[in-house]
Chains A and B, each alone.
Chain A
Amino acid sequence: MAGTPSAPATATRSAGPARTTRLPALVPEPVELPAHLAELRAEVRAFLDAERAAGAWTPRADVWLSGWDAGFSRRLGERGWLGMTIPTRYGGHGRSALERYVVTEELLAAGAPVAAHWIADRQIGPSLLRHGTEEQRQAFLPGIARGEVFFGIGMSEPDSGSDLASVRTRAERVDGGWELSGTKVWTSGAHLAHAFFALVRTAPVDEGNRHAGLSQLLVELDRPGVEIRPIPLLTGAHHFNEVRFDRVFIPDERVFGEIGDGWAQVTGELAFERSGPERFLSTYPLLAALVGELTAGTGTDAGTRRRIGSLVSRLWTLRSMSLAVAGALESGEAPELAAALVKDLGTRFENEIVDAARLLVDVPPDPGAPDGFARLLADAVLHAPGFTLRGGTNEVLRGIVARGMGLR
Chain B
Amino acid sequence: MARNTDLADLAESIFSDSWDPGATGLDTTAWRACAESGLTTLTAPDTGGTLDDAAVLLETAGAWAARVPLAETDLLAGWLARSAGLPVPDGPLAAVRGSLGPAGDTTGDTTGDTVAGVLPRVPWGRALAGVVVLDGDRVLVLDAAALTVTEGTNLAEEPRDTLDATGVVPLATGPAPDGAADELALRAALGRSLLLAGAARGALARAVGYAGERRQFGRPIARFQAVQHMLAEAGTEVAAAAAASAAAAHTARTAGFAAAGTTLAVAAAKARCGEAATAVARITHQVHGAIGFTREHDLRLLTTRLWAWRDEDGNESYWNDRVGTAALAAGPDGLWPLVTG
Interface residue ranges, A against B (CB under 8 Å): 1-14, 16-17, 19-23, 26-27, 29-30, 32, 41, 105, 109, 284, 287-289, 291-292, 294-295, 300, 302, 304-310, 312-321, 324, 338, 341, 344-345, 395, 397-399, 401-402, 404-408
Contacts and interface: CB of A to CB of B under 8 A. Distances in A.
Which residue among B205, B249, B251, B317 has the maximum number of chain A CB atoms within 10 Å of its CB? B205
Interface in B192-245: 197-198, 201-202, 204-214, 222-223, 225, 227-229, 231-233, 235-236, 238-240, 242-244
B56 interface: yes
A10 B338 CA distance: 43
A287 B327 CA distance: 11
Interface residues of B, number: 90
B213 A14 contact: no
B331 A291 contact: yes
B36 interface: no
Nearest to A285: B332
The A interface is mostly helix, strand or loop, or mixed, namely helix
Contact of A23 (B9, B208, B272): B208
Name which of A9, A27, A291 has the most chain B CB atoms within 10 A of its CB: A9
B229 A309 contact: no
Top 8 closest pairs, chain A to chain B, by CB: A309-B324, A9-B209, A309-B320, A292-B332, A21-B209, A305-B324, A7-B202, A2-B242
Contacts of B12: 5-6
Nearest to B336: A109
A22 B205 contact: yes
A126 to B, nearest CB: 24
Interface stretch (B106-114, B153-161, B291-299): B291-299
Interface in B245-264: 246-247, 249-251, 254, 264
B208 A9 contact: yes
Contacts of A17: 16, 19, 64
The B interface is mostly helix, strand or loop, or mixed, namely helix
Interface string B312-341: 000011011111111110111101101110
B21 A345 contact: no
B280 interface: no
Contact of B212 (A289, A310, A406): A406
Given A17-B19, A312-B335, A312-B339, A27 B201 contact: no
Contact of A316 (B201, B223, B244, B331): B244
B268 interface: yes
B231 A407 contact: yes
Interface in B264-312: 264-265, 267-269, 271-272, 275, 291, 294, 296-298
Given A4-B59, A30-B243, 19 more contacts: A3-B242, A4-B5, A7-B64, A8-B206, A16-B19, A27-B239, A29-B1, A32-B251, A288-B332, A308-B328, A309-B321, A312-B338, A313-B323, A316-B244, A317-B272, A320-B243, A321-B240, A341-B235, A407-B228
A321 B239 contact: yes
Given A7-B201, A305-B325, A312-B339, A345 B209 contact: no
Contacts of A306: 316-317, 320-321, 324
Q: Name, among B9, B22, B246, the residue most crowded by chain A CB atoms within 10 Å (CB to CB).
A: B246
B328 A317 contact: no
Given A1-B3, A291-B335, A292-B331, A9 B271 contact: no
A295 B338 CA distance: 15
Contacts of B320: 305-307, 309-310, 313
B196 to A, nearest CB: 13
B205 A317 contact: no
Contacts of B227: 407
B55 interface: yes
B327 A309 contact: yes
Which of A32, A315, A320 is the most central at the interface, judged by chain B CB atoms within 10 Å of its CB?
Answer: A320
B327 A324 contact: no
A408 B235 contact: no
Contact of A315 (B197, B204, B231, B339): B339
B236 A313 contact: no
Nearest to B10: A5
B268 A10 contact: no
Contact of A14 (B11, B268, B296, B332): B296
B242 to A, nearest CB: 4
26 contacts: A2-B242, A4-B5, A4-B56, A11-B212, A13-B294, A16-B21, A21-B205, A23-B238, A30-B247, A41-B340, A300-B324, A302-B321, A304-B324, A309-B322, A309-B323, A309-B327, A313-B267, A313-B271, A314-B240, A317-B243, A317-B247, A317-B269, A344-B236, A395-B229, A398-B233, A407-B231
